[in-house]
């Protein structure tokens, strides 16, 4: 399942002239790219929030919807009621759609439970998909996604540190659930800086990578905190400070930017250019969730180029090697190099840029998706039509 050799066709032909292959794919006139990596998603939930999109379009803010009983709390209510099998079925369909759009490794968060029982239900669903599906998964415990109704932020923090995390540690040791990252929504009116610090540190103490939501709606000094705690990545960062950007660059803490969210919530765009100029490792994620319903990393890259002024090369790096870095997997994923996992896309075009240039065009452009050297999706449309 790993890449054996990379190089010009004639060199490869000579090197493997004696070898026999199960399958040869003719890529004449096509492009081979690393599989895309989606560094931030919330794909396990029940209940639909299409009605909130209409409210947003009419001018309601994220926090107004949240306070009216919508937003995260609406999803929490429905997710708590759903069975594990119901959640798994919808999750499976979502992952299949991501795979067809070229994502071969995806970060998946819990966070619509907010109580131990439902958070564990979500993490079990993610664990099932890890074992049964082709797509690679990095799982994240995000029990601090919102403050549960009836609790203060301090009470919720204590509950997570005293009950949730010890249980996760126990399940990890017994081999039942393997969680990779810990996440907190560090935001005004949700978890403040001190609560965030306590939860992230407790997660780090049980061996989880820190990868959290910060500086989205208000400047919170989340970036400075993440750099100080040795965070692997921080997401959103629409309101990050200049000091925070410098601190992240120094600490080699990745910035996971989410152009879909800024676009749909009409927020200020993250300062991708400034981050790149300061030497921050910039990654991209779809932020797939009921609030930002997008499966497609090619569309995310397009938005990053148009709205955040990234070049196409920068966007591709952010959706492959840098996104893999944000998940602690850049030694095995995110580029076509000998010894790395054989995750790749074959594009029905002689120029890879079409993947970004054609906004929403990936359905007739991605010819093959390959994971661990195995074709997991073959697109018949590409055989009969030109991608132009």
- What is the pLDDT at residue 69? 80
Distance CA(235)–CA(244), nearest Å, equals 13
* Superfamily covering domain 35-46+82-327: Metal-dependent hydrolases (3.20.20.140)
Judge contact between 79 and 45, C-beta under 8 A: yes
Where along the chain do its domains lie?
2-32+343-378, 35-46+82-327
- What is the pLDDT at residue 70? 86
Judge contact between 258 and 235, C-beta under 8 A: yes
Nearest to 326 by CA among 222, 252, 388: 252
- What is the pLDDT at residue 187? 96
**CB-based burial of residue 232 (10 Å sphere; 0-12 exposed, 13-18 middle, 19+ buried)?**
buried
- What is the pLDDT at residue 225? 98
Distance CA(196)–CA(222), nearest Å, equals 9
pLDDT along the chain (388 residues), means of 10: 95 95 93 98 95 90 84 94 98 98 98 98 98 98 96 98 98 97 97 98 98 97 98 98 98 98 92 98 98 96 98 98 98 98 96 96 95 96 70
Strand partners, 106: 38, 137
């Amino acid at each position: 399942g790993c890449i054996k050799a990379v190089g010009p066709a004639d060199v490869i032909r000579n090197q493997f002239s004696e070898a026999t292959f199960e399958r040869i794919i003719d890529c004449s006139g096509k492009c081979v790219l690393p599989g895309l990596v989606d560094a931030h998603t919330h794909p396990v939930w029940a209940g639909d929030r299409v009605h909130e999109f209409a409210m947003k379009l009419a001018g309601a803010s994220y926090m107004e919807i949240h306070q009216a009983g919508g937003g995260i709390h609406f999803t929490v209510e429905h997710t708590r009621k759903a069975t594990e099998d119901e959640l798994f079925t919808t999750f499976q369909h979502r992952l299949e759609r991501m795979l067809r759009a070229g994502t071969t490794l995806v970060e998946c968060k819990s966070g619509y439970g907010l109580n131990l029982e439902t958070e564990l239900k979500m993490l079990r669903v993610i664990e099932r998909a890890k074992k049964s599906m082709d797509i690679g998964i990095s799982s994240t415990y995000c029990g601090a996604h919102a403050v549960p109704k009836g609790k203060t932020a301090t009470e919720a923090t204590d509950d997570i540190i005293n009950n949730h995390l010890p249980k996760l540690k126990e399940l990890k040791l017994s081999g039942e659930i393997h969680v990779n990252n810990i996440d907190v929504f560090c935001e005004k009116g949700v978890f403040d800086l001190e609560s965030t610090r306590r939860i992230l540190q407790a997660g780090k103490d049980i061996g989880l990578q820190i990868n959290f939501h910060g500086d989205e709606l208000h400047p919170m000094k989340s970036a400075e905190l993440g750099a100080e705690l040795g965070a692997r990545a921080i997401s959103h960062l629409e309101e990050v400070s200049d000091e925070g950007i410098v601190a992240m660059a120094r600490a080699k803490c990745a910035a996971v930017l989410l152009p879909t969210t800024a676009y749909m919530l009409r927020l200020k765009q993250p300062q991708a250019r400034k981050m790149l100029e300061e030497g921050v490792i910039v990654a991209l994620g779809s932020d797939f969730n009921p609030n930002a319903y997008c499966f497609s990393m090619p569309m995310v890259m397009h938005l990053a180029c148009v709205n955040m002024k990234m070049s196409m090369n920068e966007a591709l790096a952010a959706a492959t090697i840098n996104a893999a870095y944000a998940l602690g997997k850049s030694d095995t994923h995110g580029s076509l190099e000998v010894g790395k996992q054989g995750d790749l896309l074959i594009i029905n075009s002689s120029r890879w840029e079409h993947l970004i240039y054609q906004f929403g065009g990936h359905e007739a452009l991605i010819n093959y998706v390959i994971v661990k050297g195995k074709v997991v999706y073959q697109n018949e449309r590409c055989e009969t039509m030109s991608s132009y």
